[in-house]
Amino acid sequence: MSGPKGARGRRFEGALDPIAAEVNASVGFDHRLLPHDVAGSIAHAQMLAAQGLITNADATAIVDGLRRVEHQLASGELAWDEALEDVHMNVEARLVEAIGDAGRRLHTGRSRNDQVATDLRLYALAAAEKLIDAIDGLRQALLVQARAHIDTLMPGYTHLQRAQPVRLAHHLLAYDAMLSRDRSRIADAAWRADESPLGSGALAGTTLPIDRDRTAQSLGFSDVTRNSLDAVGDRDFAIELVGACALVQVHLSRLGEELVLWSTQEFGFVKIGEAYCSGSSLMPQKMNPDLAELVRAKTGRVAGDWIALITIVKGLPLAYNKDLQETQEPLYDAVETVTACLAIARGMIASLVFDTKRMRAAIDAGHLVATELADYLVTKDVTFREAHDIAGHLVRIATERGVELAALDLKTLREAHPAFEADVAGWLDPVRAVDRRDLVGGPARQRVLAEIERIEQELR
């Protein structure tokens, strides 16, 4: 798999069938590897010179030439050539054109198999860093809104039915908890990608006295891979990263769904900034949450990328197979889609304007403090199951009268159970109800403030 004229070289007399050549070529997508391919080649050339496998003069010419070729290809000064199949052959062919025979020595002790494996790991590590930065950016946007709404109450939901009052800040921080786990998963995937396969050759290394540790250190890897067969055929790091991306997108989808719901007239909890909405081609009054909907929809795409990856790798014999070329597009698509959606979500969160009065009013309909009645009775030595039943009975009475629980008089409460006293009124205040949940992970004001400060410190 070497030679500046492509993988076929003089072994083959004729050219590939035109359609076969189009399917075979990967430069249309693996051009994304350009900076990583050049970095890997520079490290390889410098190692070859240090080992006496090429001259220092050739190494200098190769390094200078690679940097020029990278700039020319990245800037568009040189066009990508599909006839050269991939990013590796495009770079090498242009290098040979620029510096002559010295460029032909670059591939000494190397195969495109370990070359692409190295490039992809470098890409994955760089992508993980960008994803983590984007996640932290969204988390910061959530923190800003959470701090601004520490005293805003809203209904918490189960089954999309109003359940108990919570702080809006607490609700927003639930997404921070998801994103914190996402961040950890991406970092974990990057940790396993952090091994250099360079030097594994096509599948069995090389007889030449190369220095794998030197190239690994030059490229910033923490270690080298330990089995050449596995190293060239392994795409676990891509599968893990895309799997983590899929879960990020699931969480963004949940956020998008709530923004869609909350921005409806039926909820009326929030307005999304106009930069993230669009109008209707027919109805002039409409302002549709299109970006929240698209973020929600992209989950299918990223989950599909993960399914594609594991399906491609399933059942492949060792070591390298051309099938592995098909793992690249799902990797790039997942990373780029999630990175864009994180940026969109960050902007949307920053743009939100909450209708705090509407949220507060929603707490006062639906008997959201029913659990407080049960908890009150528990403090009076009533078993929880009995207390729960009594509270349910009182909900039925309040519903029949068309009032909320707080409007029931003490006489009615005592008819349900004699343990009720006048102090029960304080239990039915939503603010007090929230602040009584004063435990780690709870929505009490001081707990939420402490959590905001903890996350701010973590992000710093």
Percent of the chain's residues with pLDDT above 70 = 97
| Domain shared by 172 and 91, yes or no | no
pLDDT, residue 286, reads 78
Mean pLDDT of the chain: 95
CA 244 to CA 197: how far, in whole Å? Answer: 23
**359-374, pLDDT tens digit by residue?**
999 999 989 999 999 9
Q: CB under 8 Å to 441, separation ≥6 — which residues?
A: 447
> Which CATH number covers residue 299?
1.20.200.10
| Domain shared by 142 and 277, yes or no | yes
Q: Where are the alpha helices (H) located in 194-313, listed in sequence order? A: 212-218, 228-233, 236-262, 290-313
Q: Single out the catalytic residue among 184, 222, 278, 280.
A: 280
Query: Is 432 a member of any domain?
Result: yes
| Domain shared by 429 and 295, yes or no | no
| CB hemisphere CA count around 73 (13 angstroms) | 28
pLDDT, residue 75, reads 97
Pairing of β 161-167 and β 153-158: antiparallel
CA 41 to CA 162: how far, in whole Å? Answer: 60
Residue where a domain terminates, one of 81, 108, 135: 108
| Domain shared by 261 and 407, yes or no | no
pLDDT, residue 403, reads 94
Query: Is 290 a member of any domain?
Result: yes
The arithmetic mean of pLDDT across residues 128-143, rounded, is 98
CA 135 to CA 159: how far, in whole Å? Answer: 28
Query: Is 252 a member of any domain?
Result: yes
> Which CATH number covers residue 66?
1.10.275.10
Q: CB under 8 Å to 385, separation ≥6 — which residues?
A: none
CA 59 to CA 42: how far, in whole Å? Answer: 8
pLDDT, residue 6, reads 54
Task: Judge whether residue 1 has pLDDT over 60.
Answer: no
* DSSP secondary structure string for all residues of 317-337: PSS--GGGGGGHHHHHHHHHH
CA 102 to CA 63: how far, in whole Å? Answer: 10
Query: Is 411 a member of any domain?
Result: yes
| Domain shared by 341 and 419, yes or no | no
CA angle 74, 77, 80 (to 5 degrees): 65
**46-98, pLDDT tens digit by residue?**
999 999 999 999 999 999 999 999 999 999 999 999 999 999 999 999 999 99
| Domain shared by 341 and 232, yes or no | yes
| Domain shared by 176 and 311, yes or no | yes
| Domain shared by 63 and 119, yes or no | no
Q: CB under 8 Å to 327, separation ≥6 — which residues?
A: 235, 238, 309, 312, 313
pLDDT, residue 84, reads 93
Q: Single out the catalytic residue among 2, 88, 159, 218.
A: 159
**189 neighbors 214 (Cβ within 8 angstroms):** no
Position 51: which residue type?
Q
pLDDT, residue 3, reads 40
Query: Is 1 a member of any domain?
Result: no
pLDDT, residue 8, reads 59
CA 460 to CA 457: how far, in whole Å? Answer: 5
Query: Is 323 a member of any domain?
Result: yes
Query: Is 17 a member of any domain?
Result: yes
Residue 104's domain comprises 9-108
Range 23-32 burial, b when 16+ CB lie within 10 A, else e: ebbbbebbbb
Number of folded domains in the chain? 3
**262-293, pLDDT tens digit by residue?**
999 999 999 999 999 988 777 877 789 999 99
| CB hemisphere CA count around 287 (13 angstroms) | 11
The residue count of the chain comes to: 460
| Domain shared by 332 and 429, yes or no | no
Question: When comparing pLDDT for 280 and 216, which is higher?
Answer: 216
Cα separation of the two ends of the chain: 47
**312-341, pLDDT tens digit by residue?**
999 999 999 999 999 999 999 999 999 999
pLDDT, residue 11, reads 66
pLDDT, residue 2, reads 39
**377-424, pLDDT tens digit by residue?**
999 999 999 999 999 999 999 999 999 999 999 999 999 999 999 999
pLDDT, residue 86, reads 96
Pairing of β 195-196 and β 223-224: parallel
pLDDT, residue 279, reads 82
For residue 171, indicate whether it is catalytic.
no
Residue where a domain terminates, one of 358, 382, 414: 358
With a threshold of 0.85, does the pTM exceed it? Answer: yes
**173-196, pLDDT tens digit by residue?**
999 999 999 999 999 999 999 999
pLDDT, residue 13, reads 67
| Domain shared by 352 and 374, yes or no | no
Residue where a domain terminates, one of 358, 375, 395: 358
For residue 280, indicate whether it is catalytic.
yes
| Domain shared by 286 and 176, yes or no | yes
> Which CATH number covers residue 367?
1.10.40.30
Query: Is 310 a member of any domain?
Result: yes
pLDDT, residue 10, reads 63
| Domain shared by 304 and 377, yes or no | no
